[in-house]
Structure 1
């Protein structure tokens, strides 16, 4: 359960992101409460507010690469707002959710268009060469792959819990395929900072997880 201090920090971040747009304080708080509810459902173990906080923290580190920092931050808040492990349209539904909520807050249409595009680009964790905002969001979303071994094991376990309905053999097969696809990419991360400093750790963690999933 998130602590009161953690929630205060998150809410402060939310307010800071909305500040340039002059959003009504009550409306901003109501929207924040909606997001908290969405990210706090019992079937979530990894895709929680803790994940959003980590993504936002990484974006802060990478903000120098962005063209539209506010849009990237807003996309971070919404990119997993709809998360159903039995569905294949989570990103599309998350983008729709963002469109509706941000429209109600009076966020400019140009910003909302960028936010929804960024969310959709997290589906396959890919970003075009000149799409620096997507690069930052995707790198922040995947930053967990390069974390220390203890946190990585916690992450891998949490993902398994979210797919608790999947039989063990099927989970192992599908998880290995996903992880191997990352290793087959020429680069996991797009921003120079993550590519240089996080890529080796991410590849090591992924290889270790694949090995841990293999029989014997």
Structure 2
């Protein structure tokens, strides 16, 4: 998905809530600046495009598609590997920006909840949120070559750390996912991505521990 397509999706979405073109463009440029930062190798516009394409494929099953799209645009807007509260800060940023657009409080709250759900990717009582976290994690269940590229990009984002430190932390993350009863919470993604995700995660884990 090209940048112009991403911008068009943003403008179409935001224009449904505000006719202030200056505000819409300013917010787009802010999104652009965050996701284009030099330290982003995975959590960038390619990740947004990937999620937006997945969302479009499941559009008929999403109750509040607008909020779903807002959540995609803002879920990783704050991304600092040295912070432990990226999801919270991203949700606050979403609240501030959506308020400027005139989005209703109920939608803003749901957007914040969806962003915060990416902290643990546990099952929620909301179908849209479960689908949102599944799409966020769907890279885990792609072909190995795609997954391997994702791994390399994540490693680049943590390039300030030596392998010994990074690998120890990554092993914890991998075991966390592998110990989940279900990585993917929706029937669709559990059926299509669960098995391959577990194979990929286990393969990466084996490589890191030298099996």
Fold match (TM-score > 0.5): yes
User: Unpaired runs of 5+ in structure 2?
Assistant: none
2:7 corresponds in structure 1 to: 11
1:83 corresponds in structure 2 to: 79
Question: Which residue, 80, 98, 102 being the options, matches 2:98?
Answer: 102
Q: Does residue 38 of structure 1 match 2:38?
A: no
Question: Which residue, 135, 157, 163 being the options, matches 1:162?
Answer: 157
Instruction: Judge conservation of contact 2:75–2:87 (CA < 8 Å) in 1.
Output: yes
TM-score of the aligned structures, taking structure 1 as reference length: 0.92
User: Unpaired runs of 5+ in structure 1?
Assistant: none
Q: Does residue 113 of structure 1 match 2:97?
A: no
Give the 3-state SS of the residue equivalent to 1:54 in structure 2. helix
Q: CA RMSD in A?
A: 1.5
Instruction: Judge conservation of contact 2:78–2:86 (CA < 8 Å) in 1.
Output: yes
Instruction: Judge conservation of contact 1:46–1:159 (CA < 8 Å) in 2.
Output: yes
CA displacement at 1:22 relative to structure 2: 4.0
2:138 corresponds in structure 1 to: 143
Instruction: Judge conservation of contact 1:63–1:136 (CA < 8 Å) in 2.
Output: no
Give the 3-state SS of the residue equivalent to 2:78 in structure 1. coil
TM-score of the aligned structures, taking structure 2 as reference length: 0.94
Give the 3-state SS of the residue equivalent to 1:150 in structure 2. helix
CA displacement at 1:97 relative to structure 2: 0.7
- Show structure 1 runs of 4+ deviating over 4 A: none
Count of aligned residue pairs for this structure pair: 211
Question: Which residue, 28, 48, 69 being the options, matches 2:65?
Answer: 69
1:124 corresponds in structure 2 to: 120
Mapped to 1, the partners of 2:69 and 2:27 lie a distance apart of 15
